[in-house]
Amino acid sequence: MKYISTRGQSEPLNFEQVLMKGLADDKGLYMPENWPKFNEKEISEFSHLSYSDLAFELMKPYIGDSLSLGELGEIINKSYSSFSHEEITPLSQITKGEYLLELYHGPTLAFKDCAMQLLGHLFEHFLKKREKKITIICATSGDTGAAAVEAMKNKDLIDLVVLFPKDKISQVQQKQMTTSASDNIHCLAVEGTFDDCQAIVKNLLNDKQFKKKYNLSAVNSINWVRVMAQVVYYFYAGLKLGSPNKKINFSVPTGNFGDIFAGFVAYTMGLPVDVLCIATNSNDALERFLRHGEYLVENVKATISPSMDIQVASNLERLLYESSGRNSKMIREMMVDLGANKRFTLDQLTLNSIKDLFIAKSVDEESTKNTIESLWVKDGKLIDPHTAVGINAGRKSLSTDNNTVYLATAHPAKFPDAIINSIGVFPKLPPNISNIMSSKEVYSNLTNKNKSVREYFEREIIL
Ligand SMILES: *Cc1c(COP(=O)(O)O)cnc(C)c1O
């Protein structure tokens, strides 16, 4: 399997290279050259597989000859052994036809672990083979950084540098990053916003010399391997609810469009999906886009679902590429427009083909809190604010003819303030991670300047 860039001006790469590279040199995102597809008979044969065995079957076509099948199986098993639930991503019923897909049983209690644990083991495998060190840099609004620290800690050939906005993430999220007590983890509290952190990361990644010197890579959801790993739980949920014989709806709390794009990939690979609901908080660029075909970036609004406080949904580029018949020229023009004018427009034909499968709904703060309350009072389920956005959007806009699966993207204990505000109950951390709240934190405070981060690298990253 080869991978090509959405912007059409980079060399095709294999699986190992795509993992290491993250973003293409032409600034595009990598996509598989063609989609592996499974027919109904093949899908029904998956129905009794464990999560790990299903992951193996679904990932096999993507890895080409970068790994032997034995190596792939071993890496998958190691990756999911860190989950606290034997089913990895169990499905639990809310009411008739409504299900929660619990994606928060990994070590940092958010769905980011499902892919990041795999990335950690894959990086380690390939780096050992290459006998080479790598520096991974990551800007985070909380969950990605925590998952990356957990996946990369104590790995000799990796240095991980995480930039987070000082005082703008939850205490649980911060402690998950800063209490790893591992020499290869570098947490930087930047005086600024998430966007400032992201801008510094992009500045460093776009400096060819710097990138080469530190063998720099990135692990946010522009990395194809994260999307690939997330396809598995869509199939897992579908199979539990009668796929391939029954169609299914998914509602996905969305920020950077990585998670819901994995749902699109599952559909493309053959899973019978009826509707994918893009659920956003008040940062509603995607809802407006589906309505008018114009993507318009506004200022980021702070909400109680902070992991979705994003205006530029990077992975939308992958869907636009696919829906336009892989038109790289169109993608390049749109992205130039986005860079210069903070907007771009999509033609009606492509927009309609997106609307055949997707709907989008934004949910305000009040409705999010009401949904947390309603699930608690009526259904006895404690859910986090991101999950609540998905449920509210889905209930308002999906037909009840199909089963609906709501992706539960984080454990409520990660966002205690929002839960207390909604129902007056304090959500307790699971016992296996509650020790982080009293562990010693290690991090450095830095000013919001490219120069401070560069100087940090000079001082602290040993090549
Ligand atoms: C990252 C995150 C999201 C958004 O996922 P995207 O792939 O960025 O769309 C939703 N909920 C939680 C809890 C997250 O951590």
**For the range 452-460, what are the long-range contacts, defined as Cβ-Cβ under 8 Å and sequence gap of 24 or more?**
453/161, 453/163, 453/188, 453/190, 453/200, 453/204, 454/204, 454/210, 456/161, 456/186, 456/188, 457/135, 457/161, 457/210, 457/214, 460/186
Look at residue 322 and tell me whether its pLDDT is greater than 80. yes
Tell me: the pLDDT tens digits for 16-75? Answer: 999 998 888 898 999 999 999 999 999 999 999 999 999 999 999 999 999 999 999 999
Least confident of 122-126, 198-202, 416-420: 198-202
Residue tagged 């400032």 (tokens): 196
β-pair partners for 273: 248
Is residue 116 within 8 Å of residue 226, measured between CB atoms?
yes
Task: Please give the model's pTM, rounded to 2 decimal places.
Answer: 0.96
pLDDT of residue 206: 81
pLDDT of residue 183: 95
Q: State the average pLDDT over residues 351-360.
A: 98
Q: Write out residues with Cβ below 6 Å of ligand 1.
A: 110, 112, 143, 221, 253-259, 307-308, 386, 409-410
Tell me: the pLDDT tens digits for 218-237? Answer: 898 789 999 999 999 999 99
pLDDT of residue 198: 82
Q: Which entry of 27, 112, 168, 361 is annotated as an active-site residue?
A: 112
Q: What percentage of the chain reaches a pLDDT higher than 90?
A: 87
Cα of 213 vs centre of ligand 1, distance in Å, is: 32
Cα of 406 vs centre of ligand 1, distance in Å, is: 13
pLDDT of residue 73: 98
Cα of 308 vs centre of ligand 1, distance in Å, is: 6
Look at residue 411 and tell me whether its pLDDT is greater than 80. yes
Look at residue 195 and tell me whether its pLDDT is greater than 80. no
pLDDT of residue 89: 98
Dist CA 55 CA 299 (whole Å):
38
* Amino acid, res. 252: V
Mean pLDDT, rounded, of the chain: 95
pLDDT of residue 166: 93
